Structure formats: C-alpha cells, structure tokens
Amino acid sequence: MKPIDRLALAPLLLVVAGVLCACAVEPTASTEGDGRERITASDQSEADRRARVRLELATAYFGRGQLETALDQVKLALASKPDSAEAYNLRGLIYASLNDNRLADESFRRALQINPREADAMHNYGWFLCQRQRFTEAAVLFEQAIAQPLYAGLSRSLMAHGVCQARNGQLAEAERSLARSYELDPSSAVTAVNLSEVLYRRGEFERARFYIRRVNSLPDVSNAQTLWLATRIERRLGNAPGVREFGSQLRNRFPQSPEALAYDRGRFDE
C-alpha cells in the first residue's frame, strides 16, 4: 500500500505537492517473507478476495476525497479480513484526513502490530506524527521504513524524513536525507524544492540555486512559492538581474499571491 506523495516543507511549499497526510493507497499482492512462493489469486480464500475488492474500492474513494464512503469500504474489508494490515493503514489515513487523531493513531499502530514489516504503514504513521510535532517518534518510523529490504518507497520516505528533520531544526540531517532521496529519484520536483529550501536556510545559495532552477524550468510544476524561493536565492547571491527575472515571473503569473506582494514590498527575509 503506497501513498501518493503530497509533501511540503511548511510553510513554503504547500502548493508544490500539498501535504502528505492525504495519501492514496494502492493494494498490492502479498508475498511470503520466508522464501516460499509468491501468493497469487488462486491461493486466496473467498474472504481474502472480498477484502481485496473492498480495499480497492476504498482506495479509489479515498483518492477522490470521498472519505465517509472510503471508510465504509474499509470497514467491510476488515469484516472479511480482520487481520489486514493494509486495511488498517488505509483506515489510519482516512481518520487522519477526518482529523480524528485518536483513531488514526490507533489504526496505524494496529497495522504495525499485524505486520511489523509494513513499510508503507511506517511511512504514513511517521508523517502523521511529524505533522503533530512528535519528531523523535516520527524519525524512528521513517528510519525503520528506510531500512526495510527492497522497499519500493525508499526515496519517498527519505524525502518525508528530511522534511520532518528540517521542521525539527535538524538542517544538516535534513540535507543528507533529501540529497539521498534526490539521488534515487532526480525527477522528483518535490524533493528538489525541499532540498533547495534546506540549502537556502543553511546558506548554501549556489547549491540551492541549482535545484530550484530545475524546478522553475518546468512551467507545470513551478508556482508562486518556487519562484519566490528563486528570487530570494538570487538576492542572496547578489544577482540583481536574476532577482528581477524571477520577480517579474512572480508578478506576471501570480499577481495576487502573498509572495508577489512580499516581492513588491521588498520583504525578502520575512
């Protein structure tokens, strides 16, 4: 079960990819962890198949923001298969989206009780805790997810870990996590923006420029926040033409944005 990344380094990048708590989940075929054959549809019981169908429906409804309907489908999935870690993981995401922190926390914990190696549940629970400033607990979960063998979401969890570290003021650690994530997935604009922001905060302006310029070269990805970060970086580098270039783009494309207003008022350091 893999979440769709909607990650941001608050408050700068909320439009780049939103916030990761609203993660969609894709049910995946299960495997045996002891070297035996992969479990396929023919090996599943009728209850397992019913649970799988309900979970797929729940995932689709969740992805469309139909939270109550998604929750109903998760309940039906758990009625067919009460020991489904995937269903509890999705249940946690739904309750987090409904701002029911108690049941979200309970759901993630239950998913990991059922399957202590469920890396996606570790990732989602880690981000849930990070959002609530429970940084130490979140870091443990991200590190556990990252350590899972053959984990397909490694770059995503490294990115989330780096953002959480930055929020906790651990900028050197955040840089390492985000740089490793970028190495694994250099196409991720979200990782590039967050890495650029961390480097900017560390005074590494030339390196910050490299990453944010890659993002701003993509019109469908760049936004007021990314252009504003580029403008501030150019100012720190003493590049007045660069400041004007990105400032003009900001004014022209996002004239009503808070970033454009800050640019017009010269509030570069707020």
Between CA 77 and CA 86 the distance in angstroms is 10
- The answer on 86 and 168 residing in a single domain is yes
Separation CA 56–CA 256 (nearest Å):
40
Query: Pick from 183, 208, 233: which residue ends a domain?
Result: 208
> Which residues contact residue 17 at a Cβ distance below 8 angstroms, ignoring those fewer than 6 apart?
5, 6, 7, 8, 189, 190
Residue 215, domain member (yes or no): no
Together in a domain, 175 and 237:
no
Q: Is residue 87 part of a domain?
A: yes
Do residues 202 and 227 share a domain?
A: no
Please report, rounded to a whole number, the percentage of residues in the chain having pLDDT higher than 70: 84
Do 162 and 229 fall into the same domain? no
172 and 71 fall within a common domain: yes
Structure confidence by residue, pLDDT tens digits, 119-165: 999 999 999 999 999 999 999 999 999 999 999 999 999 999 999 99
- Asked if the structure places residue 217 within a domain, the reply is no
What range does the domain containing 258 cover? 223-270
115 located within any domain: yes
Q: How many domains does the chain contain in total?
A: 2
Residue 176, domain member (yes or no):
yes
% pLDDT > 90, the chain: 81
Say yes or no: 72 and 199 in one domain.
yes
Q: What CATH number is attached to the domain comprising 79?
A: 1.25.40.10
**250 with 139, same domain?**
no
Query: With 60 as the cut, is the pLDDT of residue 33 above it?
Result: no
Of 215, 165, 147, 166, nearest to 186 (Cα)?
Answer: 215
In this structure, are 164 and 258 located in the same domain? no
For residue 7, is it within any domain? no
Residue 104 shares a structural domain with residue 229: no
Q: What confidence tens digit (pLDDT) does each residue in 219-258 have?
A: 899 999 999 999 999 999 999 999 999 999 999 999 999 9
Boundary (domain end) residue, out of 208, 241, 259: 208
- Residue 214 lies inside a defined structural domain of this protein: no
Pair 108, 64 in one domain: yes
Are both 69 and 117 inside the same structural domain? Answer: yes
Mean pLDDT in the chain?
A: 87
Could you read off the pLDDT of 173-222 as tens digits, one per residue?
Answer: 999 999 999 999 999 999 999 999 999 999 999 999 999 999 999 989 99
Are 107 and 169 in the same domain?
yes
pTM, 2 dp: 0.84
DSSP letters, the chain, are --PPP----TTTTHHHH--TTS----------TTS-PPP-GGGS-HHHHHHHHHHHHHHHHHHTT-HHHHHHHHHHHHHH-TT-HHHHHHHHHHHHHTT-HHHHHHHHHHHHHH-TT-HHHHHHHHHHHHHTT-HHHHHHHHHHHHTSTT-TTHHHHHHHHHHHHHHTT-HHHHHHHHHHHHHH-TT-HHHHHHHHHHHHHTT-HHHHHHHHHHHHT-TTT--HHHHHHHHHHHHHTT-HHHHHHHHHHHHHH-TTSHHHHHHHTT-TT-
Is pLDDT above 90 for 107?
A: yes
Residue 31: is its pLDDT beyond 70? no
Residue 218 lies in a domain: no
Cis amide leading into 255 (omega within 30) = no
